[in-house]
Amino acid sequence: MAGEPVRRRRARRAGAPLALLLAPLLLSVSACGGDEGAASPGRTGADTAASQAAVVIAPQDGAREVATSGALKVTVRKGTLRSVKVTDAKGNAVDGKISGDGALWRPDSHLGSSTRYTVDAVAVDARGRQAAEHATFTTLVPKNTFIGQYSPENGQRVGVGMPVSIRFSRGITRPRAVEKAITVTARPAVPIAGHWFGNDRLDFRPRAYWAPGTKVTLRLDLDGVEGRPGVYGTQAKEVSFTIGRSQVSTVDARTKQMTVVRDGKTLRTVPITAGAPGTETYNGQMVISEKHPVTRMNGETVGYGGEYDIKDVPHAMRLSTSGTFIHGNYWSGRDAFGTRNASHGCVGLYDQRGGGDSGTPAAWFYRNSLIGDVVIVKNSHDRTIQPDNGFGDWNLSWEQWRAS
């Protein structure tokens, strides 16, 4: 019994090294087990290496006086573009497309002038790792500008012959860029095409007269468009107008009668006086572009010298830029209407001086006409009116119209 404590102490001393030897082994086993249950970058976790994709935004960050066309693009090397977002200072997005191979993004159209833009682009490399770039830039402030003066006016109700007509304050030498920035749409939809008259006027019309009730919308996105070298548009505007009932009036210079047809039915036949021999009225399709209860007509303004100067022509409606009107006439005598042509090229309807009698043919026609109504003249001993003289657009065939 006396030796028992000695054996136990020896046993404990003998066991101590075994425990010390087992401890590292247990720790090693525990560490291995933990490795199998956790993410490992080298085995099952995400790849944390940098993306090989290199995104390049042009123009560079902070650039100023940037051109509104051709300067903006986003490219990527060793990768594919995943998204490109371009917005102006108001948050309006710039539409654009990524190329089929994902290497290039360009905007669909020009940018606005004097505008700050923000670009955010994201690309991925072959292993799906993302790379992003951010930039801001400001477009140029134009020193020379142009605008387009349009007709008809927003909210106006017009006749079926009214084209959309835009006159530019500066001659346009880059018509395709300008035309691309203008859209004209109709509801219900019909094909619509533009036609240039010279370098400062662009009209739009369908193949045939508008259908009654059509709503037409004009969108001008000219801000930033370079219409000629160094001259930029400034407008971003949308206007709409509505087509009223159909009214087409046909003047026969031989019979000296005008037939007014509304929505396919004859409304009235009115005796007229057209241009006298030597000053005949143009033939062709014309459109009422202005209406004046009373106006002055002076021969000196249209190349007839002092042959006439009538200060109170009643119920006057313009048919051409060169001075053709359909108007009330009180000075030729009532018996002239329907019997002889006595005017200097206009179409005259019987009227009273001052236009105060609402029952005269001229007063009736004025009251029943809209800007945009069609007046056709036939059987006159003169040429057909030129299509750019007023709204003579309809004297061109659809093929001729689209060929401009």
* Distance (Å, whole) CA 391 – CA 376: 12
> Is 32 considered catalytic here?
no
Residue 314 identity: P
Radius of gyration of the chain from its Cα atoms, rounded to whole angstroms: 40
Q: Quote the tokens at residue 117.
A: 């833009």
Q: Across the strands, what pairs with 240?
A: 217
Token pair 């309006």 in the structure block, residue: 92
φ/ψ (deg, to 5) at 245: -65, 165
Task: Give me the DSSP letters along 285-309.
Answer: EEE--EEEEEEEEEGGGGT-TTS-E
- Cα separation, 395 vs 400, in Å, equals 10
* Residue in 110, 195, 315, 327 annotated catalytic: 327
Give DSSP secondary structure letters for 52-110: --EEEEESPTTEEEE-SSS--EEEEESSEEEEEEEEETT-PBPPEEE-TTSSEEEESSP
Which residues are known catalytic residues?
A: 327, 346
